[in-house]
């Protein structure tokens, strides 16, 4: 396939304005990078009235890998949740930032875990704004 301008007059105007790239540069990039991405396979191009380009798709995770990823995410969530409960048992006045620092995750993630634990009735916040503390409900 050779690149060609569909409307040379309009293409010339845009080219003189510096708005378009060099003619055909995207085609060269596609042929250069697709084989690197998809183990040597090249894109398939059909040129007629309208041209069609087929670029191979390589999924990053296969079925069993997706299951493994979901399971490991679930396990890390359970570990973080358990660590939050343990931290509250050790120090009921612990802050979410202190929890995040101790666990090694961001404060926002700790807040999500805490909200989930509160909705499940596992922990509860007791007291006024100043002097509040956490309580693990057995």
Rounded to a whole number of angstroms, the distance between the first and last alpha carbons of the chain is: 71
User: Do residues 113 and 77 make contact, with C-beta atoms less than 8 angstroms apart?
Assistant: yes
Task: State the residue for tokens 């708005």.
Answer: 19
Cα separation, 100 vs 84, in Å, equals 9
On whether the pTM is more than 0.75, the answer is: no
Q: How confident is the model at residue 102 (pLDDT cuts 50, 70, 90)?
A: very high
Domains of the chain: 8-54 (no CATH), 63-136 (1.10.10.10)
pLDDT over 90 at 41, yes or no:
no
Spatial neighbors of 37 by CB under 8 A, at least 6 apart, are 58
In the structure, how many helices (H) and strands (E) does the chain have? 5, 4
Spatial neighbors of 75 by CB under 8 A, at least 6 apart, are none
Region of 6 please: left (phi>0), alpha (psi -120 to 50) or beta. alpha
Higher pLDDT, 118 or 67: 118
pLDDT at site 101:
92
Q: Report which listed range, 42-46, 80-84, 128-132, is most confident.
A: 80-84
pLDDT at site 99:
93
Task: State the residue for tokens 């998809």.
Answer: 38
pLDDT at site 77:
80
pLDDT at site 71:
67
Higher pLDDT, 73 or 16: 16
pLDDT over 90 at 12, yes or no:
no
């Amino acid at each position: 396939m050779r690149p060609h301008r569909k409307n040379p007059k309009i293409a010339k105007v845009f080219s003189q304005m510096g708005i378009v790239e060099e003619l055909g540069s995207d085609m060269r990039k596609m042929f250069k990078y697709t084989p690197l991405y998809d183990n040597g396979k090249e894109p398939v191009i059909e040129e007629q009235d309208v041209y069609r380009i087929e670029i191979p798709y390589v999924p990053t995770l296969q079925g069993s890998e997706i299951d493994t990823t979901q399971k490991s995410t679930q396990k890390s969530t359970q570990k973080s949740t358990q660590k939050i409960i343990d931290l509250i048992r050790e120090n009921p006045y612990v802050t979410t930032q202190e929890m995040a620092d101790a666990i090694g995750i961001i404060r926002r993630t700790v807040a999500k875990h805490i909200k989930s634990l509160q909705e499940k009735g596992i922990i509860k916040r007791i007291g006024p704004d100043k002097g509040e503390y956490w309580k693990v409900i057995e």
